[in-house]
Amino acid sequence: LAVYQSLKKHGGYTDDNIILMLADEVACNARNPFKNSIFPTGSSQNTEERRRMVDLYRDDVQVDYSGNDVTVDNFFRVLLGRHGKHTPAYQRLKSLDNNFMSNDNDGDGQNTNVFIYLTGHGGDGFFKFRDLEDFQTADLRGVLEQMTLMKRFRNMLILSDTCQAFTLDPDNVDVDGIMNSNANAGAVKNVYTVASSLKGQNSYAHHGDAAIGHSVIDRYVYYFMEYMGGFGLGRNMGKWGQLEELNVKQAMVNSMPTNRMGATIGWSDKHCERSLDRVPLSDFLVMRQGSTTSKMTGEGDGDDDNGAELLYDMVDFW
């Protein structure tokens, strides 16, 4: 939710361009004494103090998939735009689907950047949904290959915050589903990955809240928010006003305090047109209307990003 709120506040995203999946709505959980609230920096029994604290679950949160609707099938359907006949509009990534179907673009959706954020329980080459099912890295790769053939995106950033997160990198799986970092056949192109831990490493929560007896935020997101200037900043304050100048590797990889993370950040720009340190944060964290040009210079810069999209998936946070 910290990422969700930041993108709406600093990146200009609207809920039409975000799919938010919450397997368990923490704010509404019976174990949470502060109903309809999540305080990432700690809570207070004092009502007046709580009103001054940063609350991630405000009135403007739109949850698109919750509870039993948070499934691998629905996750992949959103990516592919293959929804059931009666799927409501708010559960579709409308701008991405409209761009793909647009006659003006001749069905070409490659103006669109897609940001996928995954946090929850995972392991070596898999990510779990509600402790009931999971997808394998090879499954994700297969969906991305279909999206490539369908021209559903131009560039994609997958940020995974889970144990052994880097094993979800789709370019580490060959066509037979075997982990192989040297596999080149059938490469998935222009998919960047950033991960909070490497194979064999765990990803940890940053702190818990004694009032609810549970962890409230993961280390990776906490330190990313800290690097950007902290919680509760006004629009474009801190480093949020530098999204055109900051690059993804600088902000999402190099900024992480490995000694406090308890894990090493994994990243990949394999088979991508630009290196990760040449991709401005604004390519994924800013909602663009119409064609714009990045301020960063150098070969391969100056992509036209027409309506960057966000797919945000938060599973089993509680």
pLDDT in tens, 221-258: 889 988 998 776 566 678 988 999 999 999 999 999 98
Exposed, middle or buried by CB within 10 Å (0-12, 13-18, 19+), for 289? Answer: exposed
Tokens representing 175? 């066509």
Query: How much of the chain exceeds pLDDT 70, in percent?
Result: 65
Percentages of the chain per state (helix, strand, coil), in multiples of 5: 30, 20, 50
The verdict on whether 163 is a catalytic residue reads: yes
3-class state of residue 141 by DSSP: helix
Rounded (5°) CA angle 281-286-292 = 95
How far, CA to CA in Å, does 31 sit from each of 25, 36, 98, 207? 11, 12, 40, 17
The verdict on whether 272 is a catalytic residue reads: no
Of 121, 206, 207, 271, the active-site residue reads 121
Q: Are strands 266-268 and 191-195 parallel, antiparallel or unpaired?
A: antiparallel
Of 28, 83, 86, 163, the active-site residue reads 163
- Give strand ranges (E) for the chain: 18-22, 65-66, 113-119, 122-123, 126-129, 133-136, 155-161, 191-195, 205-209, 214-218, 266-268, 309-314
Q: What is the pTM of this model?
A: 0.81
CA distance 191 to 244: 20
Segment 176-192 shows an average pLDDT of 61
Q: Is the pLDDT of residue 163 over 80?
A: yes
CA distance 271 to 179: 16
CA distance 224 to 236: 16
How does pLDDT run across 140-150, given as a tens digit for each residue? 999 999 999 98
3-class state of residue 304 by DSSP: strand
First to last CA, the chain: 12
Tokens representing 43? 């809570």
How does pLDDT run across 305-315, given as a tens digit for each residue? 444 454 444 43
Looking at residue 299, its pLDDT comes to 35
Please indicate whether residue 174 or residue 72 has the higher confidence score (pLDDT): 72
